Each structure stands twice: as C-alpha cells, then as structure tokens.
Amino acid sequence: MTLTGEDPPRSAGPIHRIEGWLRARLARIGVLKRAVVGLRHRRDRRRWEREWGDPAKRPPWLVEDVREPVRAAVADGFLVPPGRALDIGCGIGHNAAWLAWTGFDVVGVDYSQQAIARARSLFADRERLDFVAADVCRPTDLGPPFDVVVDNGCLHVIQRELWPAYRANLLAWSAPHACFMLRFRSFGKSLEECEAGVRAFLADSFEVVQVDAISAAVPQRATGAGLLFRMRRR
C-alpha cells in the first residue's frame, strides 16, 4: 500500500516485455499489410490501363451500350431524371452517356486514364456529361452530392481492405435519399454470402430496396453471375 495513493511503479517484468514485443510485431505486420494492399492496388490499376489501352481488345464482359439494368431502372421509375448522376468505375462511358441522354447531369469517374480518354473521345458531342480520372478509393471532390449513383462492376474488383475508403467517398458523394444501383459479381462465392457482405458493408447508410440475382454476362463463365442491388441513401 502506498501512502500517497498513487499506483506503485509497474516493474518491467517478463510479461510486460513480451507484451511490448508483441505490440511492436503487430504494428510491423500492420505496416506490411498496408504496403501489400498498396502494391496490389497499383498492380490492379496497371492491369486496367492495359485492358483499356488497346481499343481492339474486347473483354468478354464488355457491353458497348448502356447496361440493361440501368435502362430498366429509368424505364420503371427507380431513377428519375433530371438530377445529378454519378457512374463509379465508368470504363469507356456508355452508362454515363446514356444517363446524360435521358436528362441527368452526369459525371463518370474511373482511375484508368486510358478509359477516361476513350470515354471523352467517344462521347465528345454529349451535353451534361463529364468524365473525371480519379481513384474512388482516395478522397476526391466531385462537386455537389449526386441524386443517383451507379456502380456497374467496380466495387467487386476492389480489394476488401480498400472498401472503407470507397464507402467514405460514396457517403460524401450521395445526397440524402439518393438512389444507388450496384452490380456485384460473385466470383464463384454463393449469392447469399455476397448479399450478406454487401448488406453488412452498407446497411447503416443505405436501405436495400431490391436485390435480384443476375446470370453470367458470359454464359460459359459462371463467375459472371452476381447480384443487382437497388438501394436508397438513408
């Protein structure tokens, strides 16, 4: 017992030394993990640059037209122009251009400079349409919040470790009650597992209005199957 009422000094016994050693190791592992995520992110980006760099290359999943679920969402009134619309991971810009044609003021964002250059040249004559080269996993100011956000195949190609960064942007970019459409490929996982993952990721900020299973865009590759979410920002 101490007369001053202060805690007695803790001796640096073996348990404290082991604790300190473990903490230092874990910190180093954390640094390493972040470095690996950064390296993978740069590798993924280089892959997308190569994918979009050759216009003669036509990846089997590419639809050089608006995607049917986007067209359907305008037709059935889930997405109602006018307003501001954002296409996340817009590639060469067909969804963005079509949304602009329906009357939305559209921004298409993609981190591939090649994709953005092709989108700009393909749709140079379109009004209400802007393409921005930016990484959706880094803080990026895209102006006033959007009433509509579309992600057709971007989130599912992003490493899980970077999802929180994507989410922070999504929340900054979407207006209250904004509509969010997400096409998410399962890559061989069960659809139940994918749905639970996406719901857990976004449930506190987005209400899931509808989820539909979608078949593989390329029938011989079952991994093309996935889910189509319609959500609304809370």
Ligand X SMILES: C[S@@+](CC[C@H](N)C(=O)[O-])C[C@H]1O[C@@H](n2cnc3c(N)ncnc32)[C@H](O)[C@@H]1O
DSSP string, 74-136: HHTTSS-SSEEEEEET-TTSHHHHHHHHHTEEEEEEES-HHHHHHHHHHTTT-SSEEEEE--T
40-45's contacts with Cβ under 8 Å and 24+ in sequence apart are: 40/159, 41/137, 41/159, 41/162, 44/157, 44/159, 45/111, 45/112, 45/135
Q: Which is nearer to ligand X, 26 or 218 (CB)?
A: 218
153 counts as binding ligand X under rule CB under 6 A: yes
Q: Which of 135, 170, 225, 226 binds ligand X (CB under 6 A)?
A: 135
What is the rounded CA–CA span in Å between residue 108 and residue 149? 10
* Interacting span for ligand X (CB under 6 A) from 90-98, 117-125, 197-205, 214-222: 90-98
**What track of x and - describes contact with ligand X for positions 111 through 130 (by CB under 6 A)?**
xx--x---------------
**Binding of residue 89 to ligand X (CB under 6 A):** yes
Binding of ligand X at residue 230 (CB under 6 A)? no
Build a one-symbol-per-residue string for 155-194: x at contacts with ligand X by CB under 6 A, - elsewhere. --xx------------------------------------
Nearer to ligand X, 65 or 207 (CB): 65
From candidates 66, 154, 225, 228, binder to ligand X by CB under 6 A: 154
Q: Which two tokens stand for residue 150?
A: 């579309």
Q: Which of 139, 223, 135 is nearest to 184 (CA)?
A: 223
**93 touches 122 (CB < 8 A):** yes
The nearest distance, CB 230 to ligand X, in angstroms, is 16
What is the greatest pairwise CA distance in the chain?
Answer: 83
Please report whether residue 100 would count as binding ligand X according to CB under 6 A.
no
Closer residue to ligand X (CB): 67 or 84? 67
Interacting residues of 165 by C-beta distance below 8 A, sequence separation 6+: 137, 138
Per the CB < 8 A criterion, the answer to whether 132 and 111 are in contact is no
Pairing of strands 104-110, 129-133: parallel
Q: Which is nearer to ligand X, 36 or 157 (CB)?
A: 157
- Which residue matches tokens 């590759």? 221
Closest approach of ligand X to the CB of residue 157, in Å: 5
The single residue among 74, 90, 181, 227 that binds ligand X, judged by CB under 6 A, is: 90
- Residue nearer to ligand X on the CB measure, 21 or 61: 61
| CB of residue 78 to ligand X, shortest distance in Å | 18
Dist CA 130 CA 224 (whole Å): 29
Query: Which residues contact ligand X by CB under 6 A?
Result: 48, 62, 67, 89-91, 95, 110-112, 115, 135-137, 152-154, 157-158
